[in-house]
Amino acid sequence: MFQLRNLGNLKFGLEFALWRRHQHQTRIAAHTEQNGTKLMMNSQSIGNNQNVIEITGRPGQIWGAMVIPAGGKTTMRIVGDTLQTTTRVNLGLETKETFTRIQKIDSVEMAEGRIWWLLIIGLFTAVWIVGLILIALFFVIKQNWIVIHSSKTSLILFHSDTSKVKQFCSNLLSVARQLNTRTPANNNVPNRVSQNLKNQGNGKHGNNGQLSSQPM
């Protein structure tokens, strides 16, 4: 009887050990699969961001020494040798398009700051609880924007995706650099750069490596 009980306990112990091992292997497999999915998503996101030719955000305007967001939606897109800026306001009832020569762009400014009107209104209403809330929000909320300076105008866009906007600015300045250094015999540089960005984003490959034969 004692031996049968020991055999039963030993069998139970082996089954329990096998069950624990199976659970551990299952957790490891699930963790590995989850990490692989995250790495794949991150690599896809990085690949997409490297070929950004369009960004979307809110328009902005300069008020005194401050840059403040305005209502509506703004889209900036690299089209050949121009930067096309489309702004829709009043629920999309009004649309304004601006075409800026990329060759004339002087600099691109990326900034992060506070919403100053929250502080101004909060100071004037500090005697009430609403004013204190506005002052607290001033120190908590941040906003990001870019300013594209050209010889005649400044384009402002408020955004929320810093990495995507940074890559867009890099591509924009790359086109501007090639435009400013091209030779008269290479006038199709902007179209080729824009097309290459599109092809890379769609996973396409050009046929530059093929040889063409001509009759002698």
Amino acid identity, residue 95?
T
Whole-model pTM? 0.58
Identify the bridge partners of residue 98 per DSSP, sorted by sequence position. 85
Q: Which pLDDT score, from 0 to 100, does residue 140 have?
A: 87
| Average pLDDT value for residue range 173-198 | 69
Q: How confident is the model at residue 209 (pLDDT cuts 50, 70, 90)?
A: very low
Q: Output b/e per residue, 34-63; b: 16+ Cβ within 10 A.
A: eeeeeeeeeeeeeeebebbbebbbbbbeee
The band of 119, judged by pLDDT with boundaries at 50, 70 and 90, is: confident
- Confidence check: pLDDT of 63 > 70: yes
Pick the more confident residue, 67 or 99. Answer: 99
- pLDDT of res. 156: 92
Residue 154 neighbours by CB under 8 Å, 6+ apart:
62, 147, 148
Q: Is the predicted pLDDT of residue 118 greater than 80, yes or no?
A: yes
**Would you say the C-alpha torsion 49, 54, 55, 61 has a positive or negative sign?**
positive
Report how far residue 149's alpha carbon sits from residue 173's, in angstroms, rounded to the nearest whole number: 12
68 has a pLDDT exceeding 70: yes
- Work out the number of other CB atoms within 10 angstroms of the CB of residue 83: 22
Say if CB 88 and CB 72 are below 8 A apart.
yes
Tens-place pLDDT, residues 17-38 = 566 666 666 666 665 556 544 5
Nearest Cα neighbor of 171 from 99, 86, 105 is 105
Read off the pLDDT of residues 88-110 as tens digits, 9 standing for 90 and up: 988 778 899 999 999 999 999 99
Average pLDDT of the residues of the chain: 75
pLDDT in tens, 48-57: 556 889 999 9
Nearest to 164 by CA among 49, 62, 80: 49
Q: Which of 19-23, 81-85, 102-106, 178-182 has the lowest mean pLDDT?
A: 19-23
C-beta of residue 88 within 8 angstroms of C-beta of residue 59: no
**What are the structure tokens assigned to 146, written together?**
């870019």
Angle at 127 between CA 121 and CA 130, to 5 degrees: 55
Q: Which residue has the higher pLDDT, 47 or 163?
A: 163
